[in-house]
Amino acid sequence: MPFTHHSHSGQFCGHAVSTLEDIVQAAISKRMSVLCLTEHMARDRVDFYPEEEATHTEASLAQLFDDFYHEARRLQQAYADSIQIFVGFEGEWIRESSLTLTRSLLDKYPIDLFIGSIHHVHTVPIDYDTALYHKARDIAGGTDQRIFEDYFDSQYQMLHALQPPIVGHFDLIRLKSDDPERSFRIWPSVWEKAMRNLKVVVEYGGVLELNSSSLRKGMSEAYPQVEICQVFREMGGRFTLSDDSHGVEQVGLNYAKTLACVERAGIAELHHLAPAFESQQPIGDRFPGVRWSPILITDLKRHAFWTE
């Protein structure tokens, strides 16, 4: 049952392309079974992305998310016979106000899920471009090791404060670093912080996404790296699958390569969202209508997605 729990559209995200309905139709055409629509949450103006600064205010960005939510729910109903759609958002953890913004969003919208992601260190974007990554690294102390440590400390704070049902691109920090393929084990302080964070995710019952977007950006393994996945598996952690698509051409992209990472990590099953009916365990008190459903990798490989 190929699925994605992380997606964006150009209709509601300035650095993506395609309409939200185009994304849905692309997933259906590829025989996907579960699609989660998860646009970025609105942020304070100080944290606007460059493409938003000239076109949005805080109010218009908040309205954009509201428009997304209602369009996503419309599509959920319109395509219910063809694909299981869930609606949520990708969170941001940037500064102290991020907690208030996220909680306000959770209070306002009856969403099905949200993704806990870190895109900033010391309030500077670390995956937008290399120049901004270097700026954040300079603030952290001037080395990849120091900014990796600070990234995982920020992630630790987010995990404790929000306990997101899905943890997004766990090791995104490596994207713009000097050597994105390096093992975190070369720096014991970084590895220990990453392992600490994985334990937190296991303790509160979160799910780690296997995010294929790193592959289209030139890396050889999905987020997180295989050696991180191996440890999380040994801890009893659960995984799901995401393409983090930003347009129709990226829907389900590089899933075969991601599956190879799954098998190298020794992962025997993945999990996907499903409706929670009476007597079934939901993913949490905030999300009573959905549950995690396991699927064996052997069964996953027989899905029509792979033959299509």
Report pLDDT digits (tens) over 132-166: 999 999 999 999 999 999 999 999 999 999 999 99
- Compute the distance between CA of residue 248 and CA of residue 10 in angstroms, rounded to an integer: 10
Give pLDDT, residue 144.
98
For residue 166, the tally of other CB atoms under 10 A from its CB is: 28
Q: Is 6 strand, coil or helix?
A: coil
- Compute the distance between CA of residue 33 and CA of residue 27 in angstroms, rounded to an integer: 8
- Compute the distance between CA of residue 221 and CA of residue 111 in angstroms, rounded to an integer: 31
Structural domains in the chain plus CATH codes:
89-307 (3.20.20.140)
Q: Which tokens belong to 239?
A: 């995984």
Tens-digit pLDDT profile for residues 32-54: 999 999 999 999 999 988 888 88
Element holding 113 (H helix, E strand): strand 113-116
Q: Is the pLDDT of residue 279 over 90?
A: no
- Compute the distance between CA of residue 83 and CA of residue 288 in angstroms, rounded to an integer: 20
Give pLDDT, residue 286.
86
C-alpha 90: how far from chain center: 7
Element holding 115 (H helix, E strand): strand 113-116
174 pLDDT band, cuts 50/70/90, is very high
Element holding 263 (H helix, E strand): helix 255-264
Q: Is the pLDDT of residue 278 over 80?
A: no
Average pLDDT over residues 276-295: 85
Q: Is the pLDDT of residue 58 over 70?
A: yes
- Compute the distance between CA of residue 5 and CA of residue 243 in angstroms, rounded to an integer: 8
Q: Is the pLDDT of residue 296 over 90?
A: yes
C-alpha 62: how far from chain center: 20
Tens-digit pLDDT profile for residues 73-107: 999 999 999 999 999 999 999 999 999 999 999 99
CA atoms within 13 A on the CB side of 39: 30
Pairing mode, if any, of strands 34-40 and 113-116? unpaired
**3-state helix, strand and coil shares in percent for the chain, rounded to the nearest 5:** 45, 15, 40
Q: Is the pLDDT of residue 273 over 90?
A: yes
Map tokens 């093992």 to a residue: 183
Q: Is the pLDDT of residue 283 over 90?
A: no
Average pLDDT over residues 233-248: 96
